[in-house]
């Protein structure tokens, strides 16, 4: 598949129970349908009834994944659901609302499975944080719920600090600071009932991460959603892997050149041509430590068959395959705060080297 072909954007909605994910989903659907675009939804519930799905209009294609967590027991089904939605409905964008008990990083692994079969592009991980609960949980700081909230915030590319109307001004500042300590790169938007005036960043594949932005709607109104989640951090070492600096945030350089937006969580690359096996293995070995998972299908110039490859923490494995039906040659990389631009250059260099040799 040519990398210039249109890929279907996928957005993952995360956040603990009652934080406002379904309210956000409804607003997102309204935004895209108003533009004449066709959104589709995958909803995950731990129980066997999807009550939130009743809030989504019948005109929106929806797949339900019930009685299990999308990040563990049902992860293998996610890629199949994405493929079926694309085959049956040809949506312009897909939203995945995971159960509040799901770990986003593990869910991402399920999303990448579909990239082997369909042209998708994970654009964002949007975590909705309940502002009052964020402060309350941070003062306790114990238990599994605390740790899950921590992961949901750290994995986000966009953080919605929801229910901002229930916070005093000093509490709002405290909540913003705690989110920034946990996630130095994500855009932070304070909201009431997940209302956002400007949604254009959803459509920008290379949208910059802003240090902080308060939505005008957060200045007033009342939030009616139930008890939820969030997590706050304490001052100390930076949460970004590989960084040992104390008590700081990673900002954008002010020089006159383009600065990479390092909050990218997943990069999907559709191969334009076969590549050399030794050169590809060498690239895997020199991947930075914050790219810790990769998988995909690749065709080598120096081997007679296609290969399914798996990479995790400097260990790689290749298995010969003979896929039935159409399967893309694709490479999917998962990590935290890595440079998409650097990785793309490395992959394109592999392709260009082989093209020049032919």
Strands 62-65 and 120-130: unpaired
pLDDT for the residue 171: 96
Q: Is there a contact between 196 and 182 (Cβ–Cβ < 8 Å)?
A: no
Q: What is the pLDDT of residue 244?
A: 30
Pairing of the two strands 315-321 and 306-312? antiparallel
Against a cut of 0.85, is the pTM above it? no
335 three-state secondary structure: strand
What is residue 205's predicted lDDT score, i.e. its pLDDT? 62
Beta-sheet pairing, 291-299 with 306-312: antiparallel
**Contact between residue 276 and residue 353 where contact means Cβ atoms under 8 Å apart:** yes
d(C-alpha 351, C-alpha 353), whole Å: 6
CA atoms within 13 A on the CB side of 321: 19
Element (H, E) at 112: helix 104-114
Q: Render pLDDT for 107-159 as a digit per residue (tens, 0 to 9).
A: 777 777 777 778 888 889 999 999 998 888 888 776 676 677 888 898 899 99
- Averages of pLDDT over runs of 10 residues in the chain (358 residues) are 68 84 90 93 58 56 54 57 88 86 70 78 91 85 73 90 95 95 93 90 59 47 35 34 33 32 64 94 92 86 88 83 79 81 94 69
Rounded CA Rg of the chain:
21
What ranges make up the beta strands (E) of the chain? 8-14, 39-44, 62-65, 93-97, 120-130, 158-162, 187-190, 213-214, 266-270, 291-299, 306-312, 315-321, 330-335
The confidence score (pLDDT) of residue 255 equals 31
Cα torsion through 136, 181, 156, 205, rounded to 10: 140
Beta sheet of 213-214, edge-to-edge order: 62-65, 39-44, 93-97, 8-14, 120-130, 158-162, 187-190, 213-214
Per residue in 20-64, pLDDT (tens digit) is: 888 899 999 999 999 999 999 987 654 433 444 445 656 777 765
15 conformational bin, left if phi > 0, alpha if psi -120 to 50, beta if neither: left
pLDDT for 55 equals 53
């Amino acid at each position: 598949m040519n990398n210039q072909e249109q890929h279907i954007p996928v957005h993952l909605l995360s956040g603990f129970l009652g934080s406002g994910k379904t309210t956000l989903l409804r607003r997102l659907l309204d935004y895209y349908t108003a533009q004449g675009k066709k959104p589709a939804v995958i909803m995950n519930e731990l129980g066997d009834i999807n009550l939130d799905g009743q809030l989504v209009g019948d005109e929106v294609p929806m797949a339900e994944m019930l009685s299990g967590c999308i990040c563990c027991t049902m992860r293998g089904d996610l890629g199949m659901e994405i493929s079926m939605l694309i085959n049956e409905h040809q949506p312009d964008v897909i939203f995945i609302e995971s159960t509040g008990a799901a770990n986003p990083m593990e869910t991402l692994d399920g999303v990448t499975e579909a990239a082997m079969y369909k042209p998708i592009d994970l654009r964002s991980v949007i975590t909705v944080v309940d502002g009052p609960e964020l402060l309350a949980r941070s003062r306790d700081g114990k238990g599994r719920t605390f740790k899950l909230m921590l992961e949901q915030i750290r994995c986000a590319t966009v953080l919605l600090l929801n229910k901002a109307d229930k916070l005093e001004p000093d509490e709002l500042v405290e909540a913003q600071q705690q989110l920034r300590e946990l996630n130095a790169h994500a855009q932070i938007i304070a909201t009431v009932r997940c209302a956002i005036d400007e949604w254009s960043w959803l459509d920008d594949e290379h949208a910059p991460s802003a240090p902080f932005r308060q939505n005008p709607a957060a200045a007033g109104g009342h939030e009616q959603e139930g008890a939820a989640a969030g997590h706050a951090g304490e001052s100390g070492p930076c949460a970004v892997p590989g960084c040992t600096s104390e008590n700081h945030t990673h900002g954008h350089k002010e020089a006159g050149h383009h600065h990479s937006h390092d909050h990218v969580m997943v990069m999907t690359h559709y191969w334009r041509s076969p590549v050399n096996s030794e050169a590809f293995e060498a690239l895997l070995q020199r991947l930075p430590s914050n790219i810790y998972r990769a998988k995909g299908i690749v065709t080598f110039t120096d081997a007679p068959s296609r290969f399914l490859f798996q990479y995790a923490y400097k260990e790689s494995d290749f298995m010969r395959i003979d896929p039935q039906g159409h399967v893309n040659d694709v490479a999917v990389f998962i990590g935290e705060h890595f440079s998409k631009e650097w990785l793309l250059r490395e992959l394109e260099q592999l392709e260009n080297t082989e093209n020049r040799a032919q």
